[in-house]
């Protein structure tokens, strides 16, 4: 039933979404050309996908501590690494989108809420290898997997902080000079998602982008996206079905876009 609802939501999204000819502002047109129309695999992504495949082939089980809605709301569950990777890592298509956003915007400080095994953090960091990346993970054993994987990419500056997001997110925000690029991929419930977004507002600036994952995953996430995209500080919001993207530049008119991807 959930899959059927998701499919119906996608059909609705597809028919209301627009491509390059429906984007009037030069900012949106250029962003679309680089991020959504330039969807090709690049050489520096091959190593990340090799890393993903190694985890997808690993049937060793670990105890997952989950604080959100990801694995049915269970607090502890023993799961194979292959299942965790398949269930919680971004599909290559959307991981490449994060990579191109990072490559286009060139953020210095990247914050991710929800590391899992580290695939999405690697894509964001590889988009701008000079960036400082802090990624938060609630499960200690999953965080250990991500750290082990990040050691294969010594050219990237990625730090994993583990613990409950309600405690680690304020700390991460406090130690970062500013937030240039934020990816919210943790918990997937209405109240926490809004709380994480509000916390991040403390250090957003005109060039900040915040990406919210799984905005069509549930009614709660649809509501979260509705409230975030309508927030007074948000100027441009972009719906690409699986993710929502918001900008805060005061020089932009307040507009909402649904972009085909």
pLDDT tens, residue by residue, 166-194: 999 999 999 999 999 999 998 889 999 99
Section 44-60 average pLDDT:
94
Tokens of 84: 């965790």
In which band, very low, low, confident or very high, does the pLDDT at 65 lie, cut at 50, 70 and 90? Answer: confident
Mean pLDDT, the chain, integer: 92
pLDDT given for residue 75 in this prediction: 60
d(C-alpha 154, C-alpha 187), whole Å? 29
CA 106 to chain centre: 16
Q: What percent of the chain has pLDDT over 90?
A: 77
Average pLDDT over residues 218-246: 96
CATH class of this structure's domain 2-43+89-258: alpha beta
Q: Is the pLDDT of residue 22 over 80?
A: no
Tokens of residue 153, six digits:
């990419």
Per-residue b or e along 149-158, where b marks 16 or more CB atoms closer than 10 Å to that residue's CB = bbeebeebeb
Q: How far is CA 211 from the centre of its chain?
A: 6
């Amino acid at each position: 039933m959930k899959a059927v609802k998701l499919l119906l939501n996608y059909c609705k999204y597809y028919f209301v979404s627009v491509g390059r000819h429906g984007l009037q502002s030069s900012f949106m047109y250029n962003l679309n050309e680089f991020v959504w129309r330039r969807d090709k695999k690049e050489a520096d992504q091959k190593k990340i996908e090799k890393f993903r495949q190694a985890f997808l082939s690993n049937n060793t089980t670990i105890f997952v501590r989950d604080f959100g809605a990801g694995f049915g709301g269970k607090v502890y569950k023993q799961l194979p690494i292959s299942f965790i990777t398949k269930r919680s890592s971004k599909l290559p298509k959307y991981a490449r989108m994060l990579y191109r956003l990072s490559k286009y915007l060139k953020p210095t400080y990247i914050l991710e809420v929800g590391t899992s095994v580290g695939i999405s953090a690697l894509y964001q960091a590889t988009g701008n290898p000079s960036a400082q990346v802090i990624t938060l993970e609630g499960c200690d054993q999953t965080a250990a997997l991500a750290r082990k994987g990040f050691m294969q990419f010594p050219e990237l500056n990625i730090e994993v902080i583990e613990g409950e997001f309600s405690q680690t997110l304020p700390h991460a925000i406090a130690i970062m000079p500013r937030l240039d690029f934020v990816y919210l991929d943790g918990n997937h419930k209405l109240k926490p998602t809004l709380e994480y977004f509000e916390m991040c507002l403390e250090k957003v600036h005109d060039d900040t982008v915040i990406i919210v994952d799984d905005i069509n995953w549930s009614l709660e996430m649809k509501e979260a996206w509705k409230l975030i995209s309508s927030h007074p500080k948000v100027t441009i919001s972009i719906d690409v079905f699986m993710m929502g993207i918001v900008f805060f530049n005061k020089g932009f008119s307040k507009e909402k876009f649904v972009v085909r991807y």
